């Protein structure tokens, strides 16, 4: 069975832990609107961390690569919540997770799980850190 989650106004960590747990149970997970997922915390600190990670290895392209698109950022956070993603159950669970920017045509008329609520406080969305 496939669970389709609308990520609009959802908190990144909570959404990622839910997706990781469900994929470990054997569920297929589809996350839509990845660019509208919320990252909580101090915006300046988050932006500084993203810039440091991306520029740490310069143009040599050696070392860990850090994602620059919103769907890859979300998938990377989920990967961190799975057991070893290179072997065993973690590898199988990671393959069951799909992330999309916006809503593709095949998921427009399908019933979705709404993960986020309307937020009134200050927050940052994933799309603000994509460059």
Domains (range + CATH), the chain? 2-129 (3.90.1180.10)
56-71 burial, b at 16+ Cβ within 10 Å, e below that, comes to eeeeeeeeeebbebbb
The bridge status of strand 28-32 relative to strand 38-39 is unpaired
Residues 82 and 88 sit within 8 Å (Cβ to Cβ): no
Tens digits of pLDDT across the chain (131 residues): 789 999 988 999 999 999 999 999 999 999 999 999 998 888 888 888 888 877 766 555 666 777 888 899 999 999 999 998 888 999 999 999 999 999 999 999 999 988 877 765 667 788 887 76
pTM reported for the whole predicted model: 0.83
Q: Closest by alpha carbon to 102, among 9, 10, 31, 33? A: 33
pLDDT at position 117: 75
Query: Which residues, other chains included, contact 26 with Cβ-Cβ below 8 Å and sequence gap of 6+?
Result: 96
């Amino acid at each position: 069975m496939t669970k389709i989650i609308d990520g609009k106004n959802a908190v990144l960590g909570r959404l990622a832990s839910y997706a990781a747990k469900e994929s470990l149970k054997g569920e297929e997970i589809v996350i839509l609107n990845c660019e509208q997922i919320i990252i909580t915390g101090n915006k300046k600190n988050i932006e500084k961390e993203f810039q440091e990670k991306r520029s740490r290895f310069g143009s040599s392209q050696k070392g860990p690569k850090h994602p620059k698109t919103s769907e890859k950022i979300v998938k990377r956070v989920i990967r961190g919540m799975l057991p070893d993603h290179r072997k065993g159950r973690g590898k199988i669970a990671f393959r069951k997770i799909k992330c999309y920017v916006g809503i593709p045509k095949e998921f427009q008329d399908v019933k979705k799980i709404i993960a986020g609520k309307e937020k009134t406080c200050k927050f940052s969305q994933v799309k603000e850190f994509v460059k």
